[in-house]
Structure 1
């Protein structure tokens, strides 16, 4: 089953990440769990590029669920272009997507995944409305 990716989303960040030897499994391809690590790193880089820390504080953006559609196997060596985009923004949540392509074939997605991110008040462990300063930065 593939999760439908909305056409309308806004590109907010792009980065290149290496495929590491240790990312591969016994079958000689990048293990499926590693794609989630790539998406995590892309989200962390995006969040820190906005001027926010990912370390715990009083409030933070946390992932509530995630998925990945796999289109092509990857193996070492190689470099990935990770493009982070945002979709629907709700009162307390936001859909964030990460597409992946090899730098040698930048127009061919190897995978795309997504996550629902929620703004959380860490003192109460409850979701909270997006602060205006966050909404202004993500535009």
Structure 2
């Protein structure tokens, strides 16, 4: 699980029996919940939810996808990593990786696009500079990508 070091935010998820489907593995839709839980932790680390409450601006999920690499079965614990791979003026592209503790392998990958949104005006907006600064502090390599 060395690749976990590439992700600034990693959460641990215990697989529940009820997440399995008729094919005796975790239902594919459940992985989007794992991604969501990692994304919420990422937001918590940056205090984005506080910012949304104070200024009515914040990210909204525009799209997401997943690639399933291996089945996951109960019982298992998963490590779910999240990182931003592109920071633009009003959007963030993020990647997810899910590792199984039981099988010691990468079992799923995903990506999402978040658009920053002004909830009062009802339209997309720029990422506020203070928030962009916080993201770059958590993930300094994004500044290098933007300048190249």
Task: Give the shorter-chain TM-score range.
Answer: 0.7 to 0.9
Q: Structure 1, residues 94-124: CA drift from partner, whole Å, max 9, x if none?
A: 1011100012454x21000010011100012
User: Unpaired runs of 5+ in structure 1?
Assistant: 1-9
Tell me, in whole angstroms, the C-alpha distance in 2 between the residues paired with 1:30 and 1:99: 16
Q: Count how many residue pairs are aligned between Structure 1 and Structure 2.
A: 129
Over aligned residue pairs, what C-alpha RMSD do you find? 1.8
- Structure 1 or 2, whichever has the larger Rg, is 2
Q: Which of the residues 116, 120, 125 maps onto 2:122?
A: 125
2:34 corresponding residue in structure 1:
38
CA contact (8 A) 2:51 2:57 kept: no
Q: 1:83 aligns to what SS in structure 2?
A: strand
Q: Which has the higher strand share?
A: 1
Map 1:1-139; keep pairs closer than 5 Å: 11-53=7-49, 57=53, 58-106=56-104, 108-139=105-136
Residue 50 of structure 1: how far off its partner (Å): 1.2
CA contact (8 A) 1:44 1:54 kept: no
CA separation of 1:54 and 1:18: change in aligned 2, threshold 3 A: farther
Residue 52 of structure 1: how far off its partner (Å): 2.5
Give the TM-score taking structure 2 as reference length. 0.81
Give the TM-score taking structure 1 as reference length. 0.86
Q: Which runs of structure 1 show a deviation greater than 6 angstroms over 4 or more consecutive aligned residues?
A: none
Residue 89 of structure 1: how far off its partner (Å): 1.1
